[in-house]
Structures are given as C-alpha cells and as structure tokens.
Chains A and B, each alone.
Chain A
Amino acid sequence: MSEAAGAAVVAGLGGRVPPTVLTNRDLVASLDIDEEWIHSRTGIRQRHVIAPGGSTGDLAVEAGRRALASAGAERVDALVLATSTPDRLCPATAPEVADRLGLGAIPAFDVAAVCTGFIYALATAGGLIAAGTAGTVLVIGADTFSTILDPADHRMRAVFGDGAGAVVLRPGRAGEQGALLGIGLGSDGSRSDLLGIPGGGSRQRSAGLPTRAEDVYFTMQGRAVFHEAVLRMAASIRETAERAGWPLEDVDRFVLHQANARILAAVATRLGVPVERFVRHIDRVGNTAAASVPLALADGVAGGRIRPGHRVVLASFGGGLTWGSVALVWPRLDASAPDGPAEHSHL
C-alpha cells in the first residue's frame, strides 16, 4: 500500500467496564475451586459484571460516548457494533445505541463474530469508508457474557467478564499514524461446535423441541479452543505484519484478545517475540469477548504502555471459528482508563 493511498484512520478511543467487580475470592466463596486455581490457569484476578437489569447496549453507549469525546466528534456517519450478547435476539442493538448517543438517523448495525467481532467490525467500517458510504464511523465491541453463563459453571464464570470498547475511524491516508494497514480475517465453520450457545436459534425452534436448560448457556471446549486460538492468531499476526511490511521484531506492541494469559504467552513463544510486548489487561477484566481488544487498547494508552508512534498489531480469535488481525502505527490521542468513573452512567 502506498503512503498516499486512502485508509481508515483511528481518531478516538474509549472503553467502559461496569463498576461491579467480582474478584477470585468472591467467586470461590460460592464455588469448589480456589483463587490460585483460577489465576494459574487463566491469569485472571477479577472481572466486572453488569448489575441486574443492565445490558450490552448500556455499556456500548458509555464506551461510544468516550470514544466520541476522545475524537472530539459529536457526530459520525455510521455505527458498527460487534456483539454476540445483544440486548435482544432482534432487532440489532446498534440502532438503539446510535439513538441513545444522539447520532440521528445514521446507518447502524451489529456484527456477529463472537470474540473476533471487534476486528471484523473494524474491517467492515474500513470498507464503508473506502467505498465512500460513510466518512467517520463509530466502531464498538461490547459484550455481557455474565448473562449467558450457567450460574453453576464456576470455571466459565471465572473466565468471562463484561465490558465495552470503541474507536472512531475517519478517512485518511495509509502513511498517517492511526491508519489501518494489512487487515486479515478468516473463519472455519467446520469447528462451530467448539464454542457457542446451542439453543434459541432457528434450528431448535423449527424442530419444535423444548429448550433444554444446558442449551441456553454458552459452552466452550477449552483445550481445543486454546490450541486453535494460538495457531490461528499466530498465523494471522505473521500474515498481517508481512502485509504491513513489518518484520515481527519491529512490532512494539501486540494487543490480542484477552482470552487467557497463557494463550498470550504461547502466541509470543510461537512468534519468537518477547511476551513483554504483549499488552496484558486480562488480570483485571477477564475475557470480555468483543470488547477485549479495544478495552486493552484503552487501558494500554491510559497507562502509557501504548504510545504514539508504536507499531501495534491487534489480533483476535473467537467462536465461528473466526480470527483476524490488523496493523497500525499508534496515533496521538487521549483515552481514559476503562474502569474510571462514568459521567452519565446508569450502570
């Protein structure tokens, strides 16, 4: 890509986790596992969860508001929301989020790619900009997995947390800081059984079968997912860095889906790069699904781990299976920490 070529450019960033914190100690008080078991297998010490009556859309609104403020923008031309825990089965959550943000009658839709959703949404928004359909786009990744877990499944409750993160994209040039370079996406539907919610969709409804309790909750084959996540993200990162023209050793920060700290370490080993270059946010928020990459970005920028001029590769992996990655030189912009106070929060 020549430096003068058109590109979508990151112009704002925001993140939001709900105020209620569940520590490992809180969890083990009611479960048959210990705190160290959770930390040694996942790297997670606490996660945030929404209050009763809250929703993914609530978090998306707050993250979106922060990203718009970071960009100094009051309006955008489109909104793309990545989520697999929408406020309801249909319609999509994005139009209501756009309305609550006062964005008017802009195009707004959801993208479903589970934990890879944010990368898919970035690519989709970049496409809207490239096609001239939209100028600026608000891209949000938001999920509330606390609402789809079996309350009795302590291992899954230990892994997942709720949150939302967002960026504003604007049209610009490939040579600018913040330009999305070398996006790569992939999927493998032959492994759709590895993670997901079996029931509630058209196949179960058309069969007229009663909903079994175990089919309404999110399930995951942890070991197989771990294996696939490492293979797919490592391969995707290699390809994306190559498309951007960056040797892996020149990448300053890797911001991966925060699924498990040991997945991050295994990807680093496989790529032969120091794990210290991997931004780690999972200890404080757990796996927040589509929110995890923008939340890790917001936390990394607020804490100074990600700085203007850094060569950054974002990568994710999730149900579908789906995976994707994107490269960018980090731009100069402000972002507050995702666990800071909310100005207009109803959470």
Chain B
Amino acid sequence: MNAIEERIAEVLSAQFKVERAAIEPDVTFAALRFDSLVLIELGLILDTEFGVEIDDGELTNEMTISDAAELVAAKGASL
C-alpha cells in the first residue's frame, strides 16, 4: 500500500470498525458492505485528513481503496 492507501485504511479501521486485515488496495467499498451513508461520512473525513474537497457522489461503491487513493491524490492531497 502507498502512503495515501495506508491513511485511508487507518480511517476505515478506526472510524468504521473495518477489520484491518480485510483492507487491501484492490478491495471495493461494496465488498466491505457499507450502507449508503458511509461513503459520504468517509468523504467528509478524507477531505479533512488530506486537505482536499470531495463532493457527494465522488466516492462510489464500485471503487477500490486504491481508486479512492488515486482520487485523493489527483486532488493534490497533502500528506
């Protein structure tokens, strides 16, 4: 995992009680079985964590942890 993926994994584990072992770069959010509000909650946390703006709907169930990390990186994430 790269540094951004690691940070996302930390947030998922700490805030959303996902088992750390279940989080791999190629795992989709759908596979983590979140309800519809979690992606909004996650976006609101990641935008603070990385200092970027993530709009409602930019994170989708089909995305992998790696896709989310790429989205955050493309917005100029600061680590």
Contact = CB atoms under 8 A, between A and B. Distances in A.
Interface of A: 40-41, 223-224, 226-228, 230-231, 262, 266, 269-270
B37 A226 contact: yes
B45 A227 contact: no
Given A223-B57, A227-B56, A269-B15, A41 B44 contact: no
Contacts, number: 33
Interface residues of B, number: 13
A262 B41 contact: yes
B40 interface: yes
Given A223-B36, A227-B40, A228-B56, 9 more contacts: A40-B35, A223-B37, A227-B43, A227-B44, A266-B41, A266-B44, A266-B45, A269-B45, A270-B48
B56 A41 contact: no
Contact of A231 (B15, B36, B44): B44
Contacts of A230: 44
Given A230-B44, A266-B44, A269-B15, A224 B56 contact: yes
Contacts of B15: 269
Interface in B30-55: 35-37, 40-41, 43-45, 48, 55
Interface in B64-79: none
The 6 closest A-B pairs by CB, nearest first: A227-B56, A224-B56, A226-B40, A227-B40, A230-B44, A266-B41
Nearest to A234: B44
A235 B15 CA distance: 21
A231 B57 CA distance: 15
B51 to A, nearest CB: 13
A159 to B, nearest CB: 13
B6 to A, nearest CB: 20
Contacts of A269: 15, 44-45
A216 to B, nearest CB: 27
B76 to A, nearest CB: 19
Contacts of B35: 40-41
Contacts of A228: 56
Most chain-A Cβ atoms within 10 A of its Cβ — which of B15, B36, B56, B57? B56
A23 to B, nearest CB: 21
Most chain-A Cβ atoms within 10 A of its Cβ — which of B36, B43, B44? B44
Nearest to B53: A231
B48 A223 contact: no
Contacts of A262: 37, 41
Nearest to B43: A227
A226 B57 CA distance: 12
B11 to A, nearest CB: 10
Contacts of B40: 223, 226-227
Contacts of A40: 35
Contacts of B44: 227, 230-231, 266, 269-270
A223 B43 CA distance: 12
Given A227-B43, A227-B56, A269-B15, A41 B37 contact: yes
